[in-house]
Amino acid sequence: MAVPKRRMSRSNTRARRSQWKATLPALSHCPRGHVVRQHNACPTCGRYNDRQVLDV
C-alpha cells in the first residue's frame, strides 16, 4: 500500500482546503412572500403553483 513519505505542510493543507466552498442555493419568493427554493413547494405555506401539497 502506498504511504506518504513526508508530512504535508500546514501551508499545503490550507491551500487545498481553501478550495472547499459552499454554493448559494437558488432562492426566490413564493406568491405569499416567503423565501423558497426554486421549483420546490414552499416549506412555510406548503403550496406550489397555487396548489396545497404539504400539511403545515
Partner 1 sequence: MPAPTKGARLGGSPAHQRHMLANLATALFEHGAITTTETKAKRLRPYAEHLITFAKRGDLHARRQVMRVIGNKSVVHELFTEIGPRYENRNGGYTRITKVGFRKGDNAQLARIELVEALTVGQSAVAEAERARGTQFAGRKAPTGATAEAAADLAKESPTAAAVAVEAEEAKAAEATATESEATEAPATTETTEETTEGDAKDA
Contact pick of 10, 24, 39, 50 for partner 1 (by CB under 8 A): 39
Terminal Cα distance for the chain, rounded: 54
The residue among 27, 28, 45 whose CA lies nearest residue 53 is: 45
Cα separation, 25 vs 39, whole angstroms: 12
Q: Which among 4-12, 16-24, 27-35, 42-50 is the span making contact with partner 1, rule CB under 8 A?
A: 42-50
**45 touching partner 1, by CB under 8 A:** no
Least separation in angstroms between CB 51 and partner 1: 8
Which grid coordinates are listed for 4? 506518504
**53 touching partner 1, by CB under 8 A:** yes
Count interface residues toward partner 1 (CB under 8 A).
10
In single-letter form, the type of residue at position 34 comes to: H
